[in-house]
Chains A and B, each alone.
Chain A
Amino acid sequence: MKILVAEDDKVSLRILEKNISGWGFDVDLAGNGEEALRMLRGGDVRLAILDWMMPGMNGIEICRSVRQEGGPKYVYIIMLTSRDRGQDIVEGLEAGADDYMSKPVNFLELRARIQTGRRVVELEDKLLESNRMLKDLASRDNLTSLWNRANVFQFLEEDLIRGRRESRPVSAIMIDVDNFKRINDTHGHLAGDVVLIQIAKRLERGVRPYDKVGRYGGDEMLIVLPGCGFAEVTAIGERLRKSISGEKMRTPAGDCEVTVTLGCSSSELVPDATAETLVQASDAALYKGKSMGRDCVVVGV
């Protein structure tokens, strides 16, 4: 963990540096307030020890600026004040300091307080990480790990808005597994699940890195393809179809031949396309494909 020490007194600064680096921390030094704020904005400092009185910008002003600006990660701030300045403590804490110590610094105490700060910072990091994981988990389909319906639909809306602004087309492909009920009936639901997982993997492998694959319903998947016109979407659809039918799927109940039907639509073919109308057009194309005998790609308007 990187610690910033801001102190205009060279003796104090050297003592602080020697002790804190002796405890195994990475120490950055600032000799005045402006320098300290600049280093805090740099982003890798997680704990700051700020002297209250510094020429130019003092500790309290730095504290206020840091809290106002927010920054990507929380910085734990310990203020150093003189023993005879009791009123500073209240003002310091109100400005957003987490802790304060009076000078001259007792180093056993400083070490303990840095440990407290470290715990807070690490807790905050864990919280952010688990928030990120939960958010990701909530946006994904449990079985296939594809984006869930709400998210893939939202991607489509966002890409359409961006596409309109940049005058680039957006395409959507709706995919339905052919005779999925028969797979379940013949091989069991477990095999059905495995088939869905494998289809999801093959689809993700077959699309471009910036396309989004979502599970739209039971055995329906939706792919959003930004910057992709109807000529291209047909080619991609065909490639995806082959990636499914081309190789048998291994399930616990034995190998199983699976095919899918794909309905494609593009904002180039649907006037004033919205996420709803694009999905409808893909759906209509999909059902046309089903009636044409399945295992095919149909582009709808």
Chain B
Amino acid sequence: MERTPIDVADALARVGDDREFLKELLEIYDEDLTARVAGLREALAGNDLKAVEQLGHAIKGSSANLSLPFLRDRAAAIELAGKKGDAATALANLARLEKEFQKLRDHLRGNPL
């Protein structure tokens, strides 16, 4: 069985079982992550690893908030790579993060809240 990108029960528990609110938050998250992914690409192109670390940290936080464990893990790896100054690892994890992001969108389309 394929793993699900979001732990809906966990996320709902955090927002007081308010499905509408969780939907709103996922919309904010989608918009935000799109901008942050672009930001990460730009930071990596400019070799600004401090910004890579910060963006990774930010994505990690909001992913954890919405019970998105795989996106959270990728973001944590990007943050760490940024901190270590390892651009190659950051880039590899960014590609995987984008795949996870696509999986989340597909999943939510197929399984609306």
Contact = CB atoms under 8 A, between A and B. Distances in A.
Given A15-B65, A104-B64, A107-B14, A9 B58 contact: yes
Contacts of B74: none
Contacts of B15: 15, 18
B58 A14 contact: no
Interface stretch (B25-33, B41-49, B89-97, B105-113): B25-33
Nearest to B21: A18
B24 interface: yes
A126 B61 CA distance: 38
A82 B53 CA distance: 14
Contacts of A15: 14-15, 25, 65
A103 B65 contact: yes
Interface residues of B, number: 19
Nearest to A16: B65
Range class of the A interface residue count:
10 to 19
Nearest to B15: A15
A10 interface: yes
* Main secondary structure on A side of the interface with B: helix
Residue of A15, A19, A22 ringed by the most chain B CB atoms within 10 A: A15
Residue of A11, A19, A53, A103 ringed by the most chain B CB atoms within 10 A: A11
A15 B22 CA distance: 9
Contact of B61 (A9, A14, A55): A9
Contact of B25 (A8, A14, A103, A104): A14
Given A9-B61, A104-B64, A14 B54 contact: no
Contacts of A8: 58
A12 interface: yes
A18 B54 CA distance: 25
Contacts of B31: 10
A82 B61 CA distance: 8
Nearest to B18: A18
Contacts of B64: 103-104
A104 B14 contact: yes
Nearest to B57: A53
A104 B32 contact: no
Interface of A: 8-12, 14-15, 18-19, 22, 53, 55, 82, 103-104, 107
Query: Which 10 pairs from chain A and chain B are nearest by CB?
Result: A11-B62, A9-B62, A104-B64, A104-B65, A10-B28, A11-B29, A10-B32, A9-B61, A11-B65, A11-B28
Interface of B: 14-16, 21, 24-25, 28-29, 31-32, 54, 57-58, 60-62, 64-66
